[in-house]
């Protein structure tokens, strides 16, 4: 098992912070504006990587308790961005940011509220 100096709650807060960052980046943008802005695209990718990295360090018991979160898919997305960066489909990144992250944010907020300090 990896050394886990940060608590699960801190990791979950990192996920929320990253989602908030993405929401700020994409505020007022449509897909075309997103695709034309390399700064926003790359910043969004970085925050998605942070989400995946934080996810990979959350204890297995918490992941088991909250099976409604697709932990493995989140980590897998991070791995694709980190290792297959030359083949990233930014329309898929947009879809993740717009369609998946709001739901993830809600689920993470519930977990944070339910786990002890």
Annotated catalytic residue, options 11, 14, 57, 78: 78
Q: What's the token pair of residue 55?
A: 């996810």
Q: Has 11 been annotated as catalytic?
A: no
Annotated catalytic residue, options 11, 14, 57, 83: 83
Cα angle value 93/45/106 (rounded, 5°):
70
Among residues 24, 35, 18, which one has the least CA distance to residue 93?
35
Among residues 91, 19, 98, 87, which one has the least CA distance to residue 51?
19
Among residues 104, 13, 106, 11, which one has the least CA distance to residue 59?
11
**Catalytic annotation, residues:** 78, 83
């Amino acid at each position: 098992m990896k050394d886990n100096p940060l608590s699960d709650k801190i990791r979950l807060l990192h996920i929320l912070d990253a989602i908030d960052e993405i929401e700020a980046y994409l505020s007022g943008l449509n897909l075309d504006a997103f695709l034309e802005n390399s700064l926003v695209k790359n910043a969004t990718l970085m925050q998605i990587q942070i989400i995946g990295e934080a996810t990979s360090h959350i204890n297995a018991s918490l992941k088991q308790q909250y099976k409604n979160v697709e932990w493995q898919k989140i980590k897998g997305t991070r791995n694709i961005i980190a290792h297959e960066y030359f083949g990233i489909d930014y329309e898929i990144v947009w879809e993740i940011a717009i369609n998946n992250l709001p739901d993830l944010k809600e689920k993470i907020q519930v977990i944070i509220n339910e786990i002890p300090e």
